[in-house]
Amino acid sequence: MEWVPALREWVSAHGAIGAVLFGAAYVLSALLFVPGAILTLVAGGLFGPRWGLVIVAIATSLADAVAFLIGRHLARDAVARLASRYRRFGVIDAAITQGGWRVVALLRLSPTIPYSASNYLYGLTGIGFWPYWITSGAFTLPGIFAYVYMGYIGMETMERQAKSTVEWALHGVGLVATISATVYVAVIATRQLTSRTTGRHSAGPARPPAERSSRG
């Protein structure tokens, strides 16, 4: 992991350009199905908790928008084939059609479908672009912050920054509190999502997304 401190020095030396390049790489990676958690951890280590959160939030929002529009307009048939791999997608699609942004919010807090794939799959659902995009941007923030903060603490530990016992204790408490809150929110969201999708599934399946007209 010696490359991480070296990358941090490079980013610091290039200022805003380094942040923009990292953000662009993040967007591209998300579109290519690279797990976002790894890059989010790296962002926390490179930019710290504040700027790491800002950079990843912007990059994630851009990736959300591009993938959604690709799924809805540019590669709908290919994304429909991708959707067929996820058995629960039909139920989730029906729940989104009925519950709109509220169901998307629950899915972002407790992802049932892998994040990168879900960005494309939402383009097949009945939700409009703006409700989807705004909801995604808002409700991915808790998870982003948790990973950014873990990456920041990990970098501080790797570089053995000179800190007092009290400072390290506060860092530890903050990390535990962040993870606990994120897990708690995810559990609650999962329960709510299960309740919604189970209830909708019992009422009968919705029409396949390819048979509905696009909106948004």
Q: Is the dihedral of CA 73, 130, 55, 92 positive or negative?
A: negative
Flag whether 25 is in a domain: yes
Flag whether 216 is in a domain: no
| Residue 113: domain span | 3-211
Mean pLDDT across 187-208? 57
Residue 156 above 90 pLDDT?
A: no
3-state secondary structure of 215: coil
How would residue 184 be classed by pLDDT, with cut points 50, 70 and 90?
low
Domains contained in the chain, number? 1
How would residue 206 be classed by pLDDT, with cut points 50, 70 and 90?
very low
Among residues 112, 109, 106, 135, the alpha carbon closest in space to that of 216 is found at 135
Flag whether 92 is in a domain: yes
Whole-number Cα distances in Å, 103 to 59, 111, 202, 209: 22, 11, 17, 16
Mean pLDDT across 64-76? 93
Residue 2 above 70 pLDDT?
A: no
For the purposes of burial, counting CB atoms within 10 Å of the CB of 175, is it exposed (0-12), middle (13-18) or buried (19 or more)? middle
Flag whether 192 is in a domain: yes
Flag whether 108 is in a domain: yes
